[in-house]
Amino acid sequence: MKIQEADAKSLLVAQGLPVPPWAVARTPAEARAAAEQTFAAGAEQVVIKAQVLVGGRGKAGGVKLASSAAEAEEIAGRILGMDIKGITVRKVLVAAAADIVKEFYLGAVLDRGARRILLMGSAEGGVEIEQVAAERPDAIVRIHAHPLLGLLNWQARQMVFGLGLSVHRQAAVAIAMGLVRTMLANDADLVEINPLAIVRSRAADGTDQLTLQCLDAKITLDDSALGRHPGLEELRDLDEEDPTDLAARAEGISFIKLDGTIGCMVNGAGLAMTTMDLVKRAGGEPANFLDIGGGARADRVAAAMKLILSDPKVRAILVNIFGGITRGDEVARGLIEARALQHREVPMVVRIVGTNAEEAARLLTEARFETAASLDDAAAKAVAAAGVASPAS
């Protein structure tokens, strides 16, 4: 689960990391009020950042500076409602614009191959780490945390010296340790601070001071662990959730909407992807990824059918079930039930093999469903059905 920058920053603050104060605004007036407070606290400029769960906000015009509260209100008015990669911006973050001396990248990810937490740092902050990794792999310092003890102090020091942060080493070591702590405390797959910046500010005595600050944060949480962090589920941004995805999750169905016309219902993630691939190979475009999960009963099958049909672009449905835990006759009953309740007529091709396939075949033949023997055959039939069913548009 991805969470917004503002929420990610809160999780960093909870682990004691230095993050400059911010406010979240849902309207231009709220943005103005937040900007007024920020200017009153001594800021010369404020930054207004779109809160969306996609990258490339800056390039899309979703990050702007303002020199007055009025300007902040005007800019927030332009960013709110803006479309960034298909997502409508509904919130902005308002914070003092930092006087940045130098930017770094610091992130922790789950390294699948090494089966360790990997801490990555780069003195080329502010840009996508993937880009640095591709162009100048030597510019990234990589350290694997101890698998049982976590990140050790000496490892954090090694990172800090590797980044040339020796002047700020105490603060930097604390940030590196806190970063991994944030990951462990929240069951995160990814915690990124980009940029981690050396920022110039005015100290209480009026002199300039340089401190390390986390200016942007990105955190992805492990869906499998959300159950033991009830507070984190509340960070799910319902503004950006497709209502269909929400309905699917409630039913225990794994569903991802795509752009095509052939709805797919499959048991098992690998087979669901394969079914999509074969639809494409047969000349069609899948409308969705849908895994009904193991051991699905008739009611879940009916719910899956409803999800597929809620997409008006769907012109044919391909059901592919390889019964193991899942019983073919249960699925067949669910399909028959679902078709009886269906509001619009969509051609359906069903292939059920494995556990109780004979009984499923009998039920489906009786109910006059179109069936297919092989997966390739089923894909071809579904593509043909979608073509026939679609008037030239």
Partner 1 sequence: MSILVGRETRLVVQGITGREGEFHSRAMLDYGTPLVAGVTPGKGGQSALDGRVPVFDTVAEAVQQTGANTSCIYVPAAGAPDAILEAAGAGIGTVICITEGIPALDMLTTVEAVAQAGVRLIGPNCPGATSPGQAKVGIIPGSIHRAGRVGVVSRSGTLTYEAVQAMTDAGIGQSTCVGIGGDPIIGTTFLDILRLFAEDPETDAIVLIGEIGGAAEEAAATWAAEHLRGVPMAAFIAGRTAPEGKRMGHAGAIISGGAGTAAGKVAALEEAGIRVAASPTEIPALLRAAGVS
Altogether, the residues listed in the chain come to a count of 393
Q: How far is the CB of 329 from partner 1 (least distance, A)?
A: 15
Q: Is 252 left (phi over 0), alpha (psi -120 to 50) or beta?
A: left
Q: Which DSSP string do the residues of 321-369 spell out, in sequence order? A: EEESSS-HHHHHHHHHHHHHH-SS---EEEEEEETTHHHHHHHHHHTT-
Is 44 in the active site? no
Catalytic residue among 105, 240, 251, 330: 105
Q: List the alpha helices (DSSP H) in the chain.
A: 5-14, 28-40, 69-79, 129-135, 153-162, 169-186, 230-233, 243-251, 269-281, 298-309, 328-341, 357-366, 375-389
State the Cα–Cα distance between residues 257 and 136, nearest whole angstrom.
36
Query: Taking contact as CB under 8 A, which single stretch among the options 24-32, 204-212, 235-243, 290-298 is the one that binds partner 1?
Result: 290-298
Q: Which of the residues 192, 240, 251, 330 is marked catalytic? A: 192
Stretch of 25-33, 44-52, 252-260, 308-316 contacting partner 1, by CB under 8 A: 252-260
Can you read off the two tokens belonging to residue 97?
A: 């614009």
Distance CA 296, CA 252 (A): 9
Q: By CB under 8 A, is residue 322 in contact with partner 1?
A: yes
**What would the x/- binding string for partner 1 be over residues 368 to 387, using CB under 8 A?**
------xxx-----------
Q: What does the radius of gyration of the chain's CA atoms come to, in whole angstroms?
A: 26
- Taking contact as CB under 8 A, which single stretch among the options 25-33, 250-258, 299-307, 342-350 is the one that binds partner 1? 250-258
Stretch that binds partner 1, among 37-45, 60-68, 182-190, 340-348 (CB under 8 A): 182-190
* Binding string, residues 328-367; x marks residues near partner 1 by CB under 8 A: -------------------------xxx------------
| Burial environment of residue 122 by CB neighbours within 10 A (0 to 12, 13 to 18, 19 or more) | buried
Q: The tokens of 66 are what?
A: 């303002």
∠ at Cα 310 (306, 316), nearest 5°?
Answer: 85
Contact (CB, 8 A) for 314 and 307: no
Residue 252 found at the interface with partner 1 (CB under 8 A)? no
* Burial bucket for residue 137 (CB in 10 Å: 0-12, 13-18, 19+): exposed
Of the pair 273, 367, the CB lying nearest partner 1 is at 273
Answer yes or no: 103 catalytic: no
Contact letters for partner 1, residues 262-281 (x by CB under 8 A): ----xxxxxxxxx-xxxxxx
Least distance between partner 1 and beta carbon 382 (Å):
14
Stretch that binds partner 1, among 32-40, 170-178, 206-214, 216-224 (CB under 8 A): 216-224
> Does residue number 217 form part of the binding site for partner 1 (CB under 8 A)?
no
Comparing CB distances to partner 1, the nearer of 48 and 383 is 383
Chain residues that interact with partner 1, rule: CB under 8 A? 110, 112-113, 115-117, 130, 147-148, 183-184, 187, 189, 222-225, 228, 254, 256, 258, 266-274, 276-281, 286, 289, 291, 294-295, 322-325, 353-355, 374-376
Question: Which residues are known catalytic residues?
Answer: 105, 192
